[in-house]
Amino acid sequence: MSSSTIRKALGAMKDQTSIGLAKVGSSTSLADLDVAIVKATRHDEYPAEEKYIREIQSLTCYSKAFISACVNTLTRRLNKTKSWTVALKTLILIQRLLSEGDPAYEEEIFFSTRRGTRLLNMSDFSDTRSSSWDFSAFVRTYALYLDERLEYRMQSRRGKRSMFGFDENDDYPYTREREWERERDRERERDWERERNGKKKKEKKLL
């Protein structure tokens, strides 16, 4: 059995493990989101299926809590992987979400990166396979492009606010971030409450 065949088998096994963990570790909706992200960023060297990207966009289009959960899952995916295919697909997914997803993605990803999480900071990424040097370099360059593009858009947005009476040095973005964090906490509490109520109803039926 060739080394490439073994790598493909190991990659498929990792994807199946991630999908299984997602299904048992979250509420139904969040599990669906995590599974869609894993399927959109598989280890195989083929483009992501469009249906999974659409599913991610649909699940996160009206919920800041789900946007935050999506960004956290993407961050974990990039932190753990040593595969250029997974890293590249994840970055492509991020670009699609920034371009076509909810506008809240821009600020969520921007502040996540500025808080020190390794979302778009891929400067030390390296696929350990000797034949993947060029792909690793491309992943690092692509991540840098997305980071600088996002920073430019955020600075342009601040400049527009200053034209309409906002102080460029005010803490508006950080105030918005705190408001979003409080809203995400409230939405998570509502999701957990609904999940607990659902479990109680199932227990009553069993009794």
pLDDT digits (tens, 9 = 90+) for 92-117: 999 999 999 888 898 889 888 777 66
Q: What is the mean pLDDT of the chain?
A: 76
CATH architecture of 3-206: Alpha Horseshoe (1.25)
Across the range 17-46, mean pLDDT stands at: 76
pLDDT band at 205 (very low <50, low <70, confident <90, very high): low
Q: What is the pLDDT at residue 172?
A: 45
CB 56 within 8 A of CB 37: yes
Q: What is the pLDDT at residue 4?
A: 57
Does the pLDDT of residue 124 top 70, yes or no? yes
pTM: 0.69
Q: What is the pLDDT at residue 190?
A: 67
Q: Distance between CA 142 and CA 121 in Å, rounded?
A: 10
Taking alpha carbons only, the member of 52, 51, 143 closest to residue 92 is 143
pLDDT (tens digit per residue) in 38-60:
999 998 888 999 999 999 999 99
Q: So where are the chain's domains?
A: 3-206
Write the burial class of residue 120 (CB in 10 Å: 0-12 exposed, 13-18 middle, 19+ buried).
buried
Does the pLDDT of residue 22 top 60, yes or no? no
Q: What is the pLDDT at residue 189?
A: 63
